[in-house]
Amino acid sequence: MNASRRPSPVIRAIAVLLAAVALDSLVPEPAATSEIPAIASRQRAEKKSFTDGEIIDGFFKTAFGAEYHLAGRVDRIRKYDVPVRVFAEGDDRAARKAQLARVVADIGRRVQHLDIAMAAPGDDANIVVNLVRDRDLSRTITSLYGSERAKEIRTSLDPQCLSGFRKNEAFEIEHSDVILTYDSSDFIFLDCAYEELLQSLGPINDTSSVPWTMFNDNVSMGFFDIYDQYILNLLYDPRIKAGMTVQEVREVLPEVLADVRAWVAKVNNLPE
Residue ranges of the alpha helices (H) in 111-185? 137-157
Domain spans in the chain, listed from the N-terminal domain onward: 2-267
Mean pLDDT of 163-175: 93
- Give the distance, in angstroms, between the CA of residue 201 and the centroid of all CA atoms in the same chain: 7
Residue 74 pLDDT: 66
* CA–CA gap between residue 115 and residue 237 (Å, rounded): 12
State which amino acid sits at residue 108: G
Taking the whole predicted model, whether its pTM rises above 0.85 is answered as no
State which amino acid sits at residue 144: L
C-beta neighbour count of 271 within 10 angstroms: 6
Position 89 pLDDT exceeds 80: yes
Strand partners, 176: 127, 165
* CA–CA gap between residue 201 and residue 186 (Å, rounded): 23
Top pLDDT among 12 and 250 is at 250
CA 256 to each of CA 232, 246, 248, 261: distance values in angstroms, whole numbers, following the listed order: 12, 14, 13, 9
Residue 22 pLDDT: 34
Helices (H) and strands (E) counted in the chain, each on its own, are: 8, 6
Position 224 pLDDT exceeds 70: yes
* CA–CA gap between residue 22 and residue 3 (Å, rounded): 27
Of all residues in the chain, what percent carry a pLDDT higher than 90? 59
Residue 11 pLDDT: 35
